[in-house]
Amino acid sequence: MKYGTYAFICTRDKVPTVTRNHLTYYLSRAGIKTKLLVGQDSIFSGYKKAFELTKPKATDTIILCHDDIEIISDIHTFHDELERHLSQHNSGFAGVAGTTLLGEDAVWWDHQRWKQGLHRGHVFHGKDLHSYDNTYYGKPGRVVAMDGLFLAAKAKTLTKIGLDKPDYFEGKWDFYDIYYTIKAHTLGLVNKTVPIIVLHNSFGELAGRDSWLKNREAFIKNHKLPVSCN
């Protein structure tokens, strides 16, 4: 492999869950060096700290993902799909879910725009593969904003956009994914959803909490919306 691949996982759980164990085992089998960041004050500072400690080469791949996912795709497909997009000179982020139009509400998964065919990606949601919802957002392709359950980018992209929390965000754990991916898009980089299959042990229960709402409001005030791509 001509490049290194690293995964940064911020988690509030000091005791490992079965899902997290499955995730780290998969990453280990895939030859991906994983930094598990426990007890962080902020997801922004956690990712930045991991990036600075890793000191990756510009062409290395960095995965930012939740601790409550399992990767279902076989390892070769996983690597191939990431590198197919990230090897492009103008690549931004690769992910599994996102939208071609971030509206004035800054909610990427808006159901009306979903019905209009403006979303991209595919995620299983549930506690295990025996009981799950098959969430098909749309065919893989270019998007402007992406969900943070799984994101990957070259180290040079993360250096370009910066991982710091913007001063206008009050919450330390919310809206980082929209902020990072929209910033990459506005800098002329191309974000894409890719056909990597992930099981997410969450249905977005944390969306709507106070810190999420405050960060969403701050994002709307500080960005010109809507933002779209072809």
pTM: 0.94
Query: What structural domains and CATH numbers belong to the chain?
Result: 5-228 (3.90.550.10)
CB atoms within 10 A of CB 21: 11
Least confident of 6-15, 23-32, 71-80, 97-106: 6-15
pLDDT grade for 66, boundaries at 50, 70 and 90: very high
In contact, 56 and 4? CB cutoff 8 Å:
yes
Angle, helices 43-54/176-186, rounded to nearest 10 degrees: 60
Assess whether pLDDT exceeds 70 at residue 115: yes
Q: How far apart are CA 193 and CA 100, in angstroms?
A: 10
Q: How far apart are CA 146 and CA 143, in angstroms?
A: 7
Q: How far apart are CA 116 and CA 102, in angstroms?
A: 13
